[in-house]
Structure 1
Amino acid sequence: MSFVARHGLWSQEQKDAAVRLRKLAEERKLDTIRLSFPDQHGILRGKTLISGEALSSLESGCSITTTMLAKDTSHRTVFPVFTAGGGFGMREMQGAADVLMIPDPSTFRVLPWAPTTGWMLCDLYFADGRPVPFATRSLYKSVIERLAQRGYDFMAGLEVEFHIFKVENARLAPSDAGSPGYPGEPPVVSLLSQGYQYLTEQRYDQMEPALELIRRDVMALELPLRSMEVEYGPSQCEFVFQPTVGLAPADIMVLFRSAVKQICQRHGYHATFMCRPRIPNVMSSGWHLHQSLVSRASGKNAFMSTEGETLSPLGRGYMAGLLEHARASAVFSTPTINGYKRYRSYSLAPDRAIWGRDNRGVMIRVLGGPNDPATRLENRIGEPAANPYLYMASQILAGLDGVDRALDPGPSADTPYETKASLLPKSLREAVFALQEDPFFRNAMGAELVDYYVHIKNAEIDRFQAEVTEWEQREYFEMF
């Protein structure tokens, strides 16, 4: 028996998808197939196999080193992998051992910018068939399965802001290469448009050549794109996706980010989902997550109220849970040091855990009303660099805790930057402390995963704090 069959890893839908992809690979005469998994940062890693080899290993998997799970955002391995337990306390991950990438055939696509290349998302398993506990897609799958057992599906729509620049110098000299722990020099870039003409057609048309490249290939990937806009700052745009359920919205996000960066790079552009690039006059980018629960029995929106309230009792409890755990979950929605520079008062970004009715200064914006099937919560806390599996899993878990405890979200905040409420963390270090101080996520996600993630985040913070910044040099070098 194959590994997949032996451990019962595929649903009937995935088995049917495997049949279709084999036929499509033959019809399209694919040369290669990329097998990718989302790492702890939501970045795709994996291997490219010759098409025949990929198809023959479809049900047996492809090995990959566990050190992929041990790296921070500089690609530095931050766990002592050659010690007993490999730094994870697990024999299976000691000595940079291998795990198996098992493809999910339902995610198969042919890449439009590389038309003889197929692509699939994978999940990570140990040799005995157990899911690797640090694989975030598997974590998210377990969360939505728990939600399904309660009779609901998670529905999410994505609003993703990012920047596109023209590359002037790719910085590909050997001296620019960098090393783990000290990334190479970023490219020198220029703007595609001047800014602060929010939603004007002139600015859109100025960026349209780059946006059209992305639109064409994103649609060819069958991602449910709804709209494209020029955002508030120079060279900034926003892509909005139709709501989808379950795994789909998280898978869409990782594929979209990877696709945008690859498409732009091939045409002399640089796309970045970094929240606040260090480029004069640019604006911060956010990732607004629209979410609701759908009844599996009736297909109806469980947040929709049938009476005078904006939200159903379940919706209010869910929102209260998001607010209750906002500080602890910030490390999942905003996982970079840079992302906390966006939380500013009077800036169209949240700075405290409050909600409001259609108010863009709050953390959670409530949209819809009685008998409106589109009723939903828009959480405005996230940055576009967040790992979507961790972000969405933390939302569901926190929301359900609010439902279970019948928490009250309090009144709507009409003056969001003056209302008394818990302030969001001002730094990644503060967010990590908040996660450690709130026992909820250790119980809901497992202490093993939380400790693992905290270790990686602390490694990034320690590197940052060891750097002498330009601000320090300017502030103290001459004066003292």
Structure 2
Amino acid sequence: MSFVDTHGLWTSSQSDAYLQVLERLKKGDIEVVRFSFPDQHGLLRGKTLVVDEAIKALKSGVTLTTTLFAKDTSHRTVFPVYENGGGFDMPEMQGACDTLMVADPETFRTLPWAPHTGWILCDVYFTNGNAVPFGTRHLFRRALEQLSGEGYDFVSGLEVEFHVFKITNENLGLEHSGQPGIAPDIELLSRGYQYLTELRYDAADEVLEKIRKDVLALGLPLRSLEVEYGPSQFEFTFAPTKGIQAADDMVLFRSAVKQICQRNGYHATFMCRPRIPNVVSSGWHLHQSLTGKTDGANAFVPETVDSPLSVVGQRYLAGLLAHAQGATALATPTINGYRRYRPYSNAPDRAIWGRDNRGVMLRVLGAPGDPASRIENRIGEPTANPYLYFASQVFSGLDGMRRALNLPPSADTPYETQAAALPRTLDVAIDALRTDECLREGFGGAFVDYFCKLKEAEVARFNLEVTEWEHREYFEMF
């Protein structure tokens, strides 16, 4: 029996999808298949197999070293993988041994920009059949299963901001390598500050059309392409989907945009605040609601015009507020992302909610009879691992529902309302996550400690750097 069959890793719908993928691969026009999994940072990693080997690997898995789970954002290995337990206190993680990527057949696609290439998203398992506990796709499924146990499905829609630049120099000389290497030199596609103007959109039409066509060819539920406020800044929005799909779509979208742009002489970045003059920070707004498993109806629709949401929706919202500080490190996981939190900037700086107010953390949109009633969380940055970001919302909201938390008053003047401040730096956010008992229980204490250690390594490397600000401030003065 295959690894998948021995350990019962696929659902019946995945098994049905496998037969369709098998038939597709046997047609002969696909020559290689990329097997990818979303790592702890939400980056896609994996291997490319020739099609005959890919057919075998669909059920047998593809080997990967455990050290991939030990790496920070510079690809440095943070944990002592050759010590007992590999730095994780787990014998399965010791010695850079193998894990297995197991394909999810329902995610198979061909890549429009590489037409002889198939692509499939994977989950990672130990060779004994147990799920790797640091696999973030597994963790989000855990949250969805708990929500399902309460009788609900999670529905989410994406608004993603990012920047696209024209590359003027790839910086691929020998002296430019490193961990990380030197970024490319770039120039703007537009000067910015003409928010949603057709003129700015048309100036970037060439690259936006390439992205649009390929994103739609991938089957992603694209709704709109928009010119954002800052220079070379854009926003794509996506229709709401149920369960894990939006998270899968997000990792594929980010990777697709970067690949499409790279192939055509552009550089796309989802970094929150690139270091360019007059930059405007990019955010990632997460729209979310719950639907009943029995009737499929939106469970957030309020009963009266005086209520912002239903009782279930209000308790869910109260849970998001109660764990806002702890969840911040998962929604904004980079040092750079905290440059965005500032007053009067259309970005939140405190844990508050309000009706249709873009200055709050949690913007509530709802009315009696409105099936689109929902909560928009405006805290996220576009680099966040979607599985962790989404799972933090579900665990937090579930806690509010289970404890029947009361919703505090709305904040109509968001930058004046007295409320708990959001963490202003990554290290403060890490401390808040580490001590949030709800999130520790949801994700598991071992995962929270693991994630915090990875992020602390990132902070420690940053603190060893001498910034341009320091040099300018002190070099002449003292």
Q: Which residue of 2 aligns with 1:265?
A: 262
Q: Distance in 2 between matches of 1:343 and 1:34?
A: 37
Contact 1:225 1:241 in 2 (8 A): yes
2:325 maps to which of 327, 331, 336: 327
* Equivalent AA in structure 2 for residue 418 of structure 1: E
**1:281-305 per-position Cα deviation (integer Å, ceiling 9, x unaligned):** 1100000000000101011001111
Q: After TM superposition, which residue ranges in structure 1, 4 or more long, deviate above 3 angstroms?
A: none
Q: Which residue of 1 aligns with 2:284?
A: 287
Q: How does 1:169-248 map to 2 (within 5 A)?
A: 169-179=169-179, 183-248=180-245
* Equivalent AA in structure 2 for residue 203 of structure 1: R
Contact 2:143 2:442 in 1 (8 A): no
Q: Which residue of 2 aligns with 1:34?
A: 34
* Equivalent AA in structure 1 for residue 295 of structure 2: S
SS at 1:102 equivalent: strand
1:299 maps to which of 273, 277, 296: 296
Q: Which residue of 1 aligns with 2:84?
A: 84
Q: Which residue of 2 aligns with 1:437?
A: 435
SS at 1:58 equivalent: helix
* Equivalent AA in structure 1 for residue 196 of structure 2: L
SS at 1:27 equivalent: coil
The structural deviation recorded for 1:153 is: 0.5
SS at 1:143 equivalent: helix
Q: Which residue of 2 aligns with 1:361?
A: 359
Q: Distance in 1 between matches of 2:328 and 2:464?
A: 23
* Equivalent AA in structure 2 for residue 234 of structure 1: P
* Equivalent AA in structure 2 for residue 214 of structure 1: I
Q: Distance in 2 between matches of 1:328 and 1:310?
A: 25
Q: Distance in 1 between matches of 2:460 and 2:407?
A: 36
Contact 1:310 1:370 in 2 (8 A): no
The structural deviation recorded for 1:274 is: 0.1
Contact 2:302 2:366 in 1 (8 A): no
Q: Distance in 2 between matches of 1:13 and 1:27?
A: 22
Q: Distance in 1 between matches of 2:65 and 2:153?
A: 34
Q: How does 1:23-422 map to 2 (within 5 A)?
A: 23-27=23-27, 29-179=29-179, 183-308=180-305, 309-422=307-420
SS at 2:115 equivalent: coil
* Equivalent AA in structure 2 for residue 65 of structure 1: T
Q: Distance in 2 between matches of 1:235 and 1:87?
A: 42
SS at 1:468 equivalent: coil
The structural deviation recorded for 1:407 is: 1.2
Q: Which residue of 1 aligns with 2:449?
A: 451
The structural deviation recorded for 1:477 is: 1.2
Contact 2:395 2:438 in 1 (8 A): no
* Equivalent AA in structure 2 for residue 400 of structure 1: L
Q: Distance in 1 between matches of 2:188 and 2:28?
A: 38
SS at 1:161 equivalent: strand
* Equivalent AA in structure 1 for residue 193 of structure 2: Y
TM-score, with length taken from structure 2: 0.99
SS at 2:333 equivalent: coil
Q: Distance in 2 between matches of 1:470 and 1:269?
A: 27
SS at 2:162 equivalent: strand
Q: Distance in 1 between matches of 2:348 and 2:222?
A: 26
The structural deviation recorded for 1:64 is: 0.3
Identical aligned residues as a percent: 62
**1:145-170 per-position Cα deviation (integer Å, ceiling 9, x unaligned):** 11112111100000000000000011
The structural deviation recorded for 1:119 is: 0.3
Q: Distance in 2 between matches of 1:406 and 1:296?
A: 20
The structural deviation recorded for 1:22 is: 1.4
Q: Distance in 2 between matches of 1:270 and 1:329?
A: 30
Contact 1:165 1:189 in 2 (8 A): yes
Q: Distance in 2 between matches of 1:306 and 1:12?
A: 38
Q: Distance in 1 between matches of 2:204 and 2:317?
A: 37
Q: Distance in 1 between matches of 2:296 and 2:94?
A: 46
The structural deviation recorded for 1:310 is: 2.2
**1:204-245 per-position Cα deviation (integer Å, ceiling 9, x unaligned):** 101111100000000000000000000000100000000001
Q: Distance in 2 between matches of 1:50 and 1:142?
A: 33
The structural deviation recorded for 1:28 is: 5.2
* Equivalent AA in structure 2 for residue 357 of structure 1: R
Q: Distance in 1 between matches of 2:203 and 2:40?
A: 36
The structural deviation recorded for 1:439 is: 2.0
Contact 1:28 1:116 in 2 (8 A): no
Contact 2:273 2:336 in 1 (8 A): yes
Name the Cα RMSD after superposition: 0.8
Unaligned runs of 5+ in 1: none
SS at 1:260 equivalent: helix
**Mean alpha-carbon deviation: is it higher for 429-438 or for 131-140?**
429-438
SS at 2:346 equivalent: coil
**1:11 and 2:14 matched:** no
